Amino acid sequence: MMDISKTRSSFYRRLYVAWLIDSGTASSVPALMAATGMPRRTAQDTLAALAELDIDCQFEQADGERHNEGRYRIRDWGAIDRAWVERHLERLQQALGYPAPR
């Protein structure tokens, strides 16, 4: 893991989580936890913080399901360039100490 500031790690975490959701790799809190190893609260806080970057992330309730069963979906990346995030995934993973997505 690279030595980076808390501000940068928070920014990278948000970008990486948005990419995981948008790519279909992890679109629920448990899936984000499994993909990154982050605690539930960190995953929930990161999802809530995506709006601060103008990334529009919405929860979609699964048809016929109860108790918040469903998935998150990125509707708009705002000013963030998704292609940049994808090109720099390895850098983000290394900086955050996350494993490569499966």
Find the length of the chain: 102
pLDDT in tens, 3-19: 899 999 999 999 999 99
For residue 76, the enclosing domain spans 6-95
**In this structure, what CATH number is given to the domain that contains residue 77?**
1.10.10.10
End-to-end C-alpha distance for the chain, whole angstroms: 19
pLDDT at 73: 96
Would 32 be classed as within a structural domain? yes
86 sits in the region (left: phi over 0; alpha: psi -120 to 50; else beta) called alpha
Would 1 be classed as within a structural domain? no
pTM strictly above 0.85: yes
Give the mean pLDDT of 19-30: 95
- CA dist 19 and 44 (Å) reads 15
pLDDT in tens, 53-102: 999 999 998 776 666 678 999 999 999 999 999 999 999 999 999 988 76
